Amino acid sequence: MDPLLVLLGIATFLVAGLVKGTLGLGLPTVAIGLLSLVVPPATAAAVLMVPSLVTNVWQALAGPAIRPLLARLGPMLGASAAGTLLGAWLFGAPGPAAVPLLGAALILYALLGFFRLPLVVRPETEPWLGPLAGLATGLVTAATGVFVIPAVPYLAALGLSRDALVQSLGLSFTVSTAALGVGLLGARVLDFWLLGVSVAALLPTFAGVVAGQWLRGRVSAETFRLGFLVGLLLLGAHLALARLL
């Protein structure tokens, strides 16, 4: 294996873990966005499997409200899993065409964060809007390997407490990661070698998460949020335009 590629992988998961530890999300967004600069998106998604699943299960179980959240979000989570599997069947593994799609998803996510759009989901709309958001998230996950759009804006619009929101993100990301893993196995992208690389990526990921948790109490959350969004916007623009240049 190319030593430079190994160093890039370690740095990528350190940075992605740092973002995850600080904000509670962003691991797949940062990791796949950076890795897709040097490897196919499907390979990047496969390498992310173990770190993403482990950190998201940890995040989902850390809060006190898992049962009420599962009852409330169950239809959305089920639709997300179904959408991911449907997308894997329709699109196959994320391929070269996923790169500009991923860039567009990152740009959209960054713009939503910049403008702080006052999205609110009314309780009476949850029975149909939740599954719709889950299905759309699943299709985007299958196409790009990233599962933040539209799941994160939808969950943020539910008016949950901070702890419940972080836990709901963990639940959503866990389901999406597991479903994407099944899709990658079906597409014969995730093999034993990549699984071993994914397990090895746990160490820098956890180091980054711990550093992010330390950083969270010492740096203004708003300053870090703005820096993160600027980085996502630039990375998204690069990926979206890469095939045109």
Question: What Å distances lie between residue 130 and 74, 79, 122, 152, 159, CA to CA?
Answer: 9, 8, 11, 12, 14
Please state which of the ranges 28-32, 165-169, 208-212 shows the lowest mean pLDDT. Answer: 28-32
Own/partner long-range contacts of 112-115 (Cβ < 8 Å, ≥24 apart): 112/153, 113/225, 113/229, 113/232, 114/229, 114/233
CA 232 to chain centre: 13
Question: Can you give the pTM of this predicted structure?
Answer: 0.80
CA 16 to chain centre: 10
Contact 210, 13 (CB under 8 A): no
Q: What are phi and psi of 39, to 5 degrees?
A: -135, 160
Is 138 strand, coil or helix?
Answer: helix
Task: Give residue-wise pLDDT tens across range 33-78.
Answer: 788 778 887 788 888 889 989 988 988 887 777 889 999 999 999 9
Domain boundaries, the chain: 3-242
- Percent of the chain scored above 90 by pLDDT? 27
Q: Identify which of 190, 170, 212 has the alpha carbon closest to the alpha carbon of residue 50.
A: 190
Question: 84 pLDDT exceeds 90?
Answer: yes
**How large is the average pLDDT for residues 81-88?**
92
Question: 244 pLDDT exceeds 60?
Answer: no
Contact 131, 78 (CB under 8 A): yes
Q: What CA–CA distance (Å, rounded) separates 237 from 166?
A: 27
Task: Give residue-wise pLDDT tens across range 177-227.
Answer: 899 888 888 777 777 888 888 999 999 999 998 888 788 777 776 777 787
- Residue 163: which pLDDT band, with cuts at 50, 70 and 90? confident
List the structure tokens of 197: 């690389």
**How large is the average pLDDT for residues 164-186?**
88
Q: What CA–CA distance (Å, rounded) separates 133 from 137?
A: 6
Who wins on pLDDT, 51 or 229? 51
